[in-house]
Amino acid sequence: MKKSRLLSAMLGLVALGGAAGHSGQALAQDFKAILANPERPENEKALDAIRKPEEMLKFYGVKSGDKVADLMASRGYYTAILSQVVGVKGAVHSAHPTFRDETRERFKNPLYANVKLLEGGMGTVALPADGSLDFVLINLDYHEVEPGDRAAMNKRILAALKPGGVYGVVDHAAQNGAGDSVRKTFHRIEKALAVKEVTAAGFILAKESDLLRNPDDPRTESALKEQRGKSDRFVLRFEKSR
């Protein structure tokens, strides 16, 4: 990135950090600027139409100044967006078992000074345990966490969140009754199982959204192959009791 473009992007981050209105919500035009950020790779921008990050983060109520976490962050699609939504007064804990070298380099950019990368298994993810986070997201990868690690992960998330804090779970839906039997073959999980596990950790299912639903998906094929970009996805909003 040229110096002028980097400076422009950094100034944009500073501006976004203070751009929340009296309602505390990031403004729609701020999202347009965030998603148009020239630092974002074209392959990430191409995912916006099917992932709907603006609508999703509004559903979860993420705002400037929030302290958040992005679990199973992979290349950092949501980490990069969250970094600019929460701004310079916020913080993003981005966790993945092992980040790619290019992802580590990406988040050394001063534009992402509010991002902290955490590497290691999700069962022992090093989130702050002081109840300081406002929001935690696991997007399309709850099924990828080993079944034996999910209970410990959910407990760690509960401890990390403030009272009233939000835990977003988004994943490719399996057929009813499938549980997590197709987690490796179809990369899906049954919504009812995700709800059962997260509420067992102490969360309340506060709301769910149809933003990423696709009723035409038979849920009998791989979400990453035959149904790539067309899978039926559930969007769950859990909350920690106040």
Q: Using one digit for the tens of pLDDT, what is the confidence trace for 162-215?
A: 999 999 999 999 999 999 999 999 999 999 999 999 999 999 999 999 999 999
Please give the Cα distance from 2 to 202 (Å, whole number). Answer: 48
- Is residue 6 pLDDT above 80, yes or no? no
* Helix and strand element counts for the chain (H, E): 9, 7
- Is residue 29 pLDDT above 80, yes or no? no
Q: Please give the backbone phi and psi of residue 117, each rounded to the nearest 5 degrees, phi first.
A: -85, 135
Please give the Cα distance from 93 to 195 (Å, whole number). Answer: 24
Model confidence at 17, in pLDDT bands (50, 70, 90)?
A: very low
- Per-residue model confidence as pLDDT tens digits over 71-105: 999 999 999 999 999 999 999 999 999 999 999 99
Please give the Cα distance from 237 to 198 (Å, whole number). Answer: 11
CATH superfamily of 3-239: Vaccinia Virus protein VP39 (3.40.50.150)
Please give the Cα distance from 68 to 165 (Å, whole number). Answer: 10
Please give the Cα distance from 54 to 2 (Å, whole number). Answer: 27
Is the dihedral angle over the CA atoms 139, 144, 147, 152 positive or is it negative? Answer: negative
Cα within 13 Å of Cα(84), Cβ side: 28
Please say whether the beta carbons of 84 and 65 come within 8 A: no
Which pTM value belongs to this model? Answer: 0.89
Strands (E), the chain: 67-71, 91-96, 115-119, 133-139, 161-172, 204-209, 233-239
Measuring CA to CA, which residue among 31, 30, 37, 35 is closest to residue 5?
Answer: 37
Q: Quick check: helix, strand or coil at residue 183?
A: coil
Question: What 8-state DSSP symbol labels residue 138?
Answer: E
Name 166's Cβ contacts closer than 8 Å, sequence gap at least 6: 60, 61, 134, 135, 136, 206, 237, 238, 239
Amino acid 9: pLDDT: 46
Residue identified by tokens 């939504």 is 85
Q: Please give the backbone phi and psi of residue 167, each rounded to the nearest 5 degrees, phi first.
A: -120, 115
